[in-house]
Amino acid sequence: MNDKLTIRPAHEADLPAMVAMLADDPLGAARESPDDLTPYLTAYRRIAGDPHQHLVVAVAPGTDRVIGTLQLTVIPGLSRRGATRTLIEAVRIHADARGSGLGTTLIEWAVEQSRTLGAELVQLTSDATRTDAHRFYERLGFSASHVGFKLVL
């Protein structure tokens, strides 16, 4: 196989596949509505209009099938001598592609992209119940140094 995996900006046409991945998840199942894409389209346009958001999809080699996604946000800041950081959110891998190394490829892409964008720190949070994900991020060099707090409004 000479074709390579492609990681590219997400298009509106990718939304059904992306939302299906968000919903096909133990935590996502209860909070997504894959049969009604309207709120996702509104959100997609908000993301696409913000130059500090990088919403991407991974496309299977030699196909146009979306098998992964993540969102990278660039956040300038004062702390750490004015360091810019990036935040990784909404990492999802299609069920068919789990265990294939795609998660590693996507996170390594996000880290490399963060360097290119001038970031000095990459951060993310992972639900405390996702223990497999925690080991995965630690293998990739991330340190579980923080507690992540959320408040639903």
Q: Does 20 interact with a second copy (rule: CB under 8 A)?
A: no
H helix or E strand, kind and range, residue 20: helix 15-23
Q: Does 90 interact with a second copy (rule: CB under 8 A)?
A: yes
Amino acid at 106: L
Q: Does 84 interact with a second copy (rule: CB under 8 A)?
A: yes
Query: Interface with a second copy by CB under 8 A: which range of 1-9, 45-53, 59-67, 95-103?
Result: 45-53
Minimum Å gap between C-beta 142 and a second copy is 4
Report the distance separating Cα 152 and Cα 6, nearest Å: 35
Backbone angles phi, psi at 134, to 5 degrees: -65, -45
134 class by beta-carbon count within 10 Å (0-12 exposed, 13-18 middle, 19+ buried): middle
Q: Does 123 interact with a second copy (rule: CB under 8 A)?
A: yes
Q: Can you tell me which of 7, 17, 18, 67 binds a second copy, judged by CB under 8 A? A: 18
Q: Are 118 and 129 in contact (CB under 8 A)?
A: no
Q: Kindly report the length of the chain.
A: 153
Q: Can you tell me which of 6, 83, 100, 105 binds a second copy, judged by CB under 8 A? A: 83
Q: Can you tell me which of 4, 13, 26, 149 binds a second copy, judged by CB under 8 A? A: 149
Q: Can you tell me which of 6, 20, 47, 105 binds a second copy, judged by CB under 8 A? A: 47
Q: Are 111 and 85 in contact (CB under 8 A)?
A: no
Question: Whose Cβ is closer to a second copy: residue 1's or residue 26's?
Answer: 26
Tokens of 33: 């509505």
Tokens of 134: 């925690």
Residues at the contact surface with a second copy, assessed by CB under 8 A:
15, 18-19, 22, 28, 31-33, 39-44, 46-47, 50, 52-53, 55, 71, 73, 75-84, 87, 89-90, 111, 114-115, 119-128, 134, 137-138, 140-153
